Structure 1
Amino acid sequence: MSHSGSASRRLIAEARRVVVKVGSSSLTTAAGGLDVTRLDALVDAVAARCGRDTQMILVSSGAIAAGLAPLGIARRPRDLATQQAAASVGQLALGHAYVASFARHSLRVGQVLLTSDDVVRRSHYRNAQRTLERLLALGVVPVVNENDTVATEEIRFGDNDRLAALVAHLIGADALVLLSDVDGLYDGDPRRDGARLIGEVAEPSDVDGVRADSVGASGLGTGGMTSKLAAAQLAAAAGVPVLLASAADAPRALGGADVGTAFAATDRRLSARRFWLGYAADATGRLHLDAGAVAAVVGRRRSLLAAGIVAMDGAFEAGDVVELLDPAGVVVARGVVAFDAGELPGLIGRSSHDLLAEQRREVVHADDLVPLTTR
């Protein structure tokens, strides 16, 4: 069914800066190793969109999968060291394949390997932003991947879907296109009769009750539909419209955007700093709020005072990012805390006039606080 007339699809079709993410299963064979035919088909679609005066950023999985066959490994390894070794071999093969394929269209590519540290740490975030902007200004197509050769369990993105959503906001993309081996979001298992394709997601409640798988069907990737749905909602909540489609439909996805599932963006795009604070930065602690504080912080966008806190946990310092939870334990906001964890226990629940003068400051200032509409 065509949805080419929707506002979201028109925005995606007309976007001047687009992030495209492709998964391992769309670039490699089941036995491991690159499928050059499918990679060339993807590059053809990206190059065609470049020909429409669009800046393209490609977030590509596939390094680990591409390294399996050359190493004689039958299936994706579970231990981190072997994954890193496979990525070391596969990343070179993947990069070479992209250079050769884009050269057919007289396009240059540049490799950008990131760990979550490069997005979580504010100074690294700006460095990644500057690098990508400069590549685009030079007419280069950046090919971004997680740096699997050095990433540890603690600093992994976990899947490139989230990485793509973060990159989309990082460089101010007008649209995000997530390509995989599934042609969209379904209200049930698409392999079973009766499952219906959800063509449009206008707001988060449109996917309430949708159950998505958590692993890739091929076993080669780390992200299934769960990660794609989370990434799409993350990007849409930050003001970037998203299209989820099959890699086999890449020409249409990057053309008229009349395939797959389109996610409408919120009306207001977060600033780079507020997006980093709300979605990219690591949280080192949690503050549990009473209902009145939640209403003030989320509903009226006020600063968080000590009186509204009922409990806390974590080992954080002043200047760290913490999560704010409602009475039901749901994360409703994130912000920069103004006190160390050792200072707060004696302050929580107390009114400002009961505190010493030097303690009468906001625990989280409104300017350093981001309510979360999607989590």
Structure 2
Amino acid sequence: MQAATQTAAGRRTVVKVGSSSLTTAGGGLDAERLDALVDALAAARARGDQLILVSSGAIAAGLAPLKLTRRPDELAQQQAAASVGQGLLVARYTASFARYNLRVGQVLLTNDDVTREDHYRNARRTLDALLTMGAIPVVNENDTVATDEIRFGDNDRLAALVARLVQARRLILLSDVDGIYDADPRLATSRRITDVHDLRDLQGLDLRTPGSGLGTGGMASKIDAAGAAAGAGIEVTVTSATRAADTLAGRPAGTRFHPARSEPAAWATARAVIAEVLEQPGLTPADAFHELGGTSLHAMRICARLRKETGQRVLPQALFESTTLGEFAELLSEVRHAA
């Protein structure tokens, strides 16, 4: 049973789609574009992939019903639009996937759900259960309750966190641009970058891209999320929603971020990571566990930097999932004693 579970998990793919790929210029859902995405996802599911869809579009979908002509700046109005739009978004996904006799399950997450140990484990169990029972989780930030202080910021970051949460093999970030370019993709002289092995290869690029004004992410956000996920051993592709079918089928498309080779974490390296966290005065073991293990994107960045600086490859899971709070407290004590 355990081997079967590991095999299924090895085919897990997280797909993130942005607002501009799902909505019309006026803010309503574009049924044709949404159905095309579902067609690609259903084909991948038929090949045996386990899929988690991280979908933006709730706020954008709620604009027209509330007679709003653009995305509001005020948080309360954004939350109101999300409240109306999220229901419309999930209803449309439910109807579209039903064409293939597939069910969806709505999962709304806040930052606490991936940064606090009990919430994190519960979110993972829920997603695992949905996948085991054959449903496709449709994940979004819980915009109706999130405040500016605790928001993910954009769904690229959320998708990277979810990919790590479910231990996905692949992360696919979809937008209206077919990859990372070395300059503004609207220019004829721009060149699409096909492969990224190290984020240093992208330094100095002009990351301006055409935007719809309906979403919050951009190419800089995608590079940040892709680099963090690849550093955690997850293969990442950044491409357009129109190339979703090719990407899911394994055909070359967009920009591929090659995953870092993962090896068992060395405790010496883990201690070095934890020592950084302990630089904050008055930090308790619980605080440190939350800050290092819980803030998983932060942990991925630290692991990627340590791999670059020391040659030690550390998976964030080794810092969070395999370490109980009690063990973490003991390790903190060792580090303090050594200091």
Give the aligned partner of residue 301 of structure 1. Answer: 269
TM-score, length of structure 2 as denominator length: 0.80
Residue 132 of structure 1, aligned match among 110, 119, 127: 127
Residue 335 of structure 2, aligned match among 362, 367, 373: 362
Contact map agreement 1:240 1:266 (CA 8 A) in 2:
yes
Instruction: Please give the residue correspondences for 1:71-86 in structure 2 after superposition, counting only pairs within 5 Å.
Output: 71-86=66-81
Contact map agreement 1:238 1:269 (CA 8 A) in 2:
no
Aligned length: 295
- CA deviations over 1:344-374 (Å, ceiling 9, x no partner): xxxxxxxxxxxxxxx98423989xxxxxxxx
Contact map agreement 1:239 1:269 (CA 8 A) in 2:
no
Cα distance in structure 2, aligned partners of 1:103 and 1:25: 24
Give the aligned partner of residue 206 of structure 2. Answer: 211
Inter-CA distance 221–190: structure 2 relative to 1 (3 Å threshold): same
Residue 187 of structure 2, aligned match among 163, 185, 192: 192
Instruction: Report the CA distance between 1:192 and its aligned residue.
Output: 1.6
Give the aligned partner of residue 82 of structure 2. Answer: 87
Cα distance in structure 1, aligned partners of 2:61 and 2:20: 10
Contact map agreement 1:67 1:90 (CA 8 A) in 2:
yes
Aligned structure 1 segments of 4 or more residues deviating by more than 4 angstroms:
311-315, 330-336
Percent same amino acid at aligned positions? Answer: 55
Cα distance in structure 1, aligned partners of 2:194 and 2:243: 15
Residue 56 of structure 1, aligned match among 33, 44, 51: 51
Instruction: Report the CA distance between 1:316 and its aligned residue.
Output: 3.5
* Structure with a larger share of its residues in strand: 1
Cα distance in structure 2, aligned partners of 1:247 and 1:226: 18
- CA deviations over 1:308-342 (Å, ceiling 9, x no partner): 99x9556633432358xxxxxx9757989xxxxxx
Give the aligned partner of residue 231 of structure 2. Answer: 237
Contact map agreement 1:161 1:231 (CA 8 A) in 2:
yes
Inter-CA distance 235–312: structure 2 relative to 1 (3 Å threshold): closer
Give the aligned partner of residue 5 of structure 2. Answer: none
Larger deviation, residues 188-197 vs 259-268: 188-197
* Structure with a larger share of its residues in helix: 2
Give the aligned partner of residue 242 of structure 2. Answer: 248
Instruction: Report the CA distance between 1:143 and its aligned residue.
Output: 0.4
- Partner of 1:182: helix, strand, or coil? coil
Return the letter of the residue paired with 1:249: R
TM-score, length of structure 1 as denominator length: 0.72
Cα distance in structure 1, aligned partners of 2:97 and 2:263: 32
- CA deviations over 1:166-188 (Å, ceiling 9, x no partner): 11111111101110000000011
Cα distance in structure 2, aligned partners of 1:364 and 1:16: 43
**Mapped pair 1:316 → 2:289:** no
Return the letter of the residue paired with 2:126: T
List gaps (5 residues or longer) in structure 2.
1-9, 293-300, 307-315, 321-331
List gaps (5 residues or longer) in structure 1.
1-14, 275-296, 324-329, 337-358, 367-375
- Partner of 1:44: helix, strand, or coil? helix
- CA deviations over 1:184-207 (Å, ceiling 9, x no partner): 000111112311100011222222
Residue 113 of structure 1, aligned match among 108, 113, 119: 108
- CA deviations over 1:127-150 (Å, ceiling 9, x no partner): 000000000000000000000111
Cα distance in structure 1, aligned partners of 2:337 and 2:109: 30
- Partner of 1:179: helix, strand, or coil? strand
Contact map agreement 1:165 1:232 (CA 8 A) in 2:
yes
Give the aligned partner of residue 27 of structure 2. Answer: 32
